[in-house]
C-alpha cells in the first residue's frame, strides 16, 4: 500500500511507534474512499473498526427523538484530515454512538478489531495510546472551548454574476487568503499554469482521469486550494463543488437577485452538493450608501450565512478571508440592563486596539448595543445614540397600568426604532440575538427581519416590559434562557470569541432579619433622619430575578470564550441610567486591563490575525 510521508508520520505519532515499527502497523490498514454524502456508518451499527481520515471532511450526526416521537438527525461535529473515527467502539465493542457521513469526497485508512488486537499483542502501548486519545478527546468536549470553525482547505468560488467587480474581488480575496498560508488558485482556463495535468477546461470539457489525483496532492502542499467555478453547469464546476469544504456564491448587488438557471446544481438537495457550507457574498458598489435589498438575494437561495463587502474596500475583503480561514472574531455581549452600557466601553477599547470584529451576538441590552456595533457605527456614535435613548429617553421609568408589565415599553420601542432602523440581514456585520419563547421554553435565534422588533423581543424583561410577538408566539428576554450566547456564536464560522459577562459574582448581606414593611421602606426613603434599608425596587427585583435564573449557564458559557471580560458593574443598579458614563468607563477599564495579555497570546499564535 502506497502511503504518503504525512500519514506515515501520523501513525507513528498516534501510536507512539518507533520508526521500524510503523511499516508493519501500516500493512494492517486498508484504504477506503467515500463520495460526498455517503455514510461511513450509522448510529447503532456494530463498532468493529478504527478509521484515520487521510483526505476530505466527515460530519458527525446523532439521532434525536422529538417530543412527537419523530427521529431527527442533528449535526454535532466534524472530522478533519489526520483525525480518527471509531476509537471508543473499537475498544469497548459497543455499537456506534453516532453516524459518520462524508461531507465531500474523502479517503480513509481502516483497521478492523481483529487486526488491531493482533498488533496490540505485539505492541502493547498501542492500546494505551488509543485510550489516551479517547480521554483527550472527551476532555476537549467537556471543556467547551473548542473552535467552531475547523480547518477548511478547498474553497469553491462561484460567480453568480460575472463582471469586472466580481473578478477584482476574487483576486483580492485570493491575495488576502495568502496571509494564512500558501494558496493554489485554480482557474479552469489556466490549469496548466498551476502544474495540472491538463492545460485548460471550458464549460463542456470532461474531467481528465489524472486530474482528481493531482488535486488531492495539492491539499498536502497548500493551506488553501481555491477552485474558480464556471458561471455555468460544467463538469469542472461540479467537481469543484464536490471537492469543496466551503462554497462562496459571489454576487454583484447591482444585478437582479433572481437565481440563474444554472444555479440549481449549486443549490441542489443532492447530498454531494449540499454538505459543504454555502455562503453568499454580496459585493456592493464602492459609492453605495446603506445596504438594502439583501432579503431578495437570500429568500431564493439556501445558504448557511451571508457576508457583505464593498468593492475595493480592503477591510471587507480581509473579513471574508478571516471567515474562510477560520480566523474570524466573534463578540458576544451579555445581558444586564443598565449595566450593559459597559459594552460601549469594551467596544471603544477594542476599536482603539485595532481589533477587527467580524460577528456580533447578544441578549437583552447586549443585543441592542451589539446591533448598533454591527451597523459599524463608531464607539462615539454608539455612545451618543445609547445616551439619547436610555438617559434622555428614560425607558425604565415609563410606568403603566400593571396588567402585563410595570413598564409600557413605548419609550423602549421608540429608542430602538430610532437607534436601529433597517433589517438584520442588511447589517454590514453578521449579527444575531436571542429571545425566549414563552409557551415552549425554546430559544428564538434572530438572524433576519426588522432589527427593532428583534431587539424588542430580546429585551422584553418578564414583568418589567411587555412580551413581544415572534412568529405568532409570545417571547420574552433572551436572558431568561441564555444571557451570554457564546454557544450560539461558536456555531457561527468564527475562530475566536470575546465575551462580556455582566452577571454578579459577589454576595452581599443585608442588615435586617426580615424584610421591612412597605410603609417602613417608604418612611426610610422620605424622612431625612430615618434608618436606611437596602432593598431593591420592583423593576430591579424583576430584572435581577431574570439574571439569577440563568447565572450558572452564563458562567459556563463564559468558559467557552477565548477572552472573557467581567466589568466591575456590581455597584450600579440594574436601572441606574444616571450612572451611564461611569458604567461605560467600567467596561473600558476592564478591557484595557485584559486586552494586552490576550493580544500578546494572539500574536504568538501561528496564523493569528493581528490588530490593525
Residues known to be catalytic: 364, 477
Q: How far apart are CA 435 and CA 265, in angstroms?
A: 36
Q: Say which residues have a Cβ less than 8 Å from residue 429's Cβ, sequence separation at least 6.
A: 357, 358, 359, 360, 373, 374, 375, 376
Q: Which of 290, 104, 249, 64 is nearest to 166 (CA)?
A: 249
Q: How far apart are CA 223 and CA 174, in angstroms?
A: 12
From the number of C-beta atoms within 10 Å of its C-beta (0-12, 13-18, 19+), residue 298 rates as middle
Q: How far apart are CA 159 and CA 24, in angstroms?
A: 48
* Residue 578 DSSP label: G
End-to-end CA gap in the chain: 49
Cell of 516: 421591612
From the number of C-beta atoms within 10 Å of its C-beta (0-12, 13-18, 19+), residue 188 rates as buried
Q: How far apart are CA 386 and CA 339, in angstroms?
A: 12
In 68-123, which residue ranges form alpha helices assigned H by DSSP?
87-92, 113-122
From the number of C-beta atoms within 10 Å of its C-beta (0-12, 13-18, 19+), residue 544 rates as middle
Q: How far apart are CA 307 and CA 281, in angstroms?
A: 5
Q: Which of 444, 394, 395, 396 is nearest to 424 (CA)?
A: 444
H/E stretch holding 496: strand 496-500
Angle between helices 379-386 and 342-352 (to 10 degrees): 170
**Taking a C-beta distance cutoff of 8 angstroms, is the pair 437, 467 a contact?**
no
* Residue 608 DSSP label: P
CA distances from 17 to 21, 126, 134, 136, 585 (A): 6, 8, 18, 19, 56
Q: Say which residues have a Cβ less than 8 Å from residue 343's Cβ, sequence separation at least 6.
A: 333, 362, 365, 366, 369, 370, 500, 587
Amino acid at each position: 500500500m502506497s502511503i504518503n510521508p504525512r500519514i506515515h508520520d501520523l501513525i507513528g505519532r498516534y501510536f507512539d511507534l518507533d520508526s521500524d515499527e510503523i511499516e508493519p502497523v501500516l500493512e494492517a490498514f486498508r484504504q477506503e474512499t467515500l463520495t460526498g454524502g455517503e455514510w461511513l456508518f450509522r448510529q447503532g451499527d456494530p463498532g468493529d473498526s478504527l478509521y484515520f481520515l487521510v483526505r476530505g471532511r466527515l460530519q458527525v450526526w446523532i439521532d434525536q427523538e422529538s417530543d412527537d416521537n419523530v427521529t431527527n438527525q442533528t449535526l454535532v461535529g466534524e472530522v478533519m484530515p489526520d483525525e480518527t473515527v471509531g476509537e471508543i467502539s473499537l475498544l469497548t465493542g459497543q455499537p456506534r454512538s453516532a453516524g459518520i457521513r462524508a461531507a465531500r469526497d474523502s479517503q480513509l485508512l481502516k483497521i478492523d478489531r481483529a487486526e488491531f488486537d493482533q498488533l496490540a499483542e505485539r505492541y502493547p502501548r498501542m492500546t494505551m495510546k488509543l485510550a489516551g486519545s479517547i480521554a483527550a478527546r472527551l476532555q476537549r468536549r467537556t471543556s467547551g472551548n473548542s473552535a467552531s470553525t475547523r480547518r477548511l482547505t478547498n474553497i469553491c468560488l462561484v460567480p453568480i454574476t460575472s463582471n469586472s467587480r466580481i473578478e477584482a474581488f476574487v483576486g483580492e480575496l485570493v491575495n488576502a487568503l495568502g496571509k494564512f498560508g500558501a494558496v493554489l488558485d485554480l482557474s479552469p482556463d489556466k490549469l496548466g499554469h498551476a502544474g495540472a495535468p491538463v492545460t485548460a477546461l471550458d464549460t463542456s470539457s470532461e474531467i481528465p482521469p489524472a486530474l482528481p489525483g493531482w488535486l488531492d496532492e495539492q491539499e498536502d502542499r497548500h493551506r488553501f486550494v481555491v477552485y474558480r467555478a464556471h458561471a455555468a453547469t460544467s463538469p469542472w464546476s461540479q467537481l469543484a463543488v464536490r471537492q469543496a469544504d466551503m462554497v462562496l456564491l459571489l454576487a454583484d448587488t447591482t444585478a437582479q437577485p433572481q437565481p440563474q438557471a444554472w444555479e440549481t446544481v449549486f443549490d441542489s438537495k443532492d447530498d454531494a452538493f449540499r454538505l459543504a457550507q454555502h455562503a453568499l457574498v454580496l459585493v456592493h458598489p464602492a459609492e453605495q450608501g446603506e445596504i438594502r435589498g439583501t432579503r431578495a438575494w437570500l429568500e431564493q437561495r439556501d445558504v448557511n450565512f451571508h457576508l457583505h463587502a464593498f468593492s475595493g474596500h480592503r477591510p471587507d475583503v480581509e473579513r471574508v478571508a478571516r471567515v474562510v480561514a477560520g480566523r474570524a472574531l466573534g463578540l458576544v455581549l451579555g445581558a444586564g440592563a443598565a449595566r450593559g452600557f459597559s459594552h460601549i466601553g469594551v467596544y471603544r477599547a477594542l476599536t482603539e486596539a485595532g481589533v477587527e470584529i467580524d460577528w456580533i451576538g447578544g441578549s437583552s441590552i447586549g443585543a441592542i448595543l451589539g446591533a448598533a456595533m454591527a451597523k459599524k457605527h463608531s464607539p462615539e456614535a454608539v455612545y451618543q445614540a445609547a445616551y439619547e435613548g436610555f438617559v434622555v429617553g428614560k425607558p425604565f421609568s415609563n410606568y403603566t397600568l400593571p396588567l402585563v408589565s410595570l413598564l409600557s415599553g413605548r419609550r423602549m420601542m421608540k429608542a430602538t426604532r430610532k437607534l436601529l432602523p433597517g433589517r438584520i440581514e442588511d447589517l454590514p456585520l453578521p449579527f444575531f440575538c436571542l429571545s425566549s419563547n414563552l409557551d415552549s421554553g425554546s430559544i428564538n435565534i434572530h438572524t433576519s427581519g426588522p432589527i427593532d422588533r428583534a431587539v424588542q423581543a430580546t429585551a422584553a424583561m418578564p414583568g418589567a416590559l411587555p412580551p413581544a410577538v415572534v412568529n405568532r408566539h409570545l417571547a420574552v428576554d433572551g436572558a431568561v434562557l441564555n444571557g451570554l450566547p457564546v454557544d450560539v456564536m461558536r456555531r457561527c464560522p468564527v475562530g475566536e470569541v470575546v465575551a462580556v459577562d455582566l452577571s454578579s459574582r459577589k454576595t452581599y448581606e443585608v442588615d435586617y432579619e426580615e424584610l421591612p414593611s412597605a410603609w417602613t421602606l417608604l418612611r426610610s426613603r422620605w424622612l431625612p433622619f430615618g434608618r436606611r434599608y437596602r432593598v431593591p425596587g420592583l423593576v430591579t427585583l424583576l430584572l435581577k430575578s431574570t439574571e439569577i435564573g440563568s447565572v450558572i449557564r452564563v458562567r459556563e458559557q463564559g468558559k467557552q470564550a477565548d477572552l472573557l471580560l467581567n466589568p466591575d458593574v456590581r455597584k450600579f443598579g440594574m436601572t441606574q441610567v444616571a450612572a451611564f458614563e461611569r458604567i461605560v468607563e467600567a467596561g473600558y477599564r476592564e478591557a484595557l486591563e485584559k486586552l494586552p495579555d490576550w493580544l500578546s497570546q494572539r500574536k504568538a499564535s501561528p496564523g493569528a490575525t493581528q490588530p490593525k
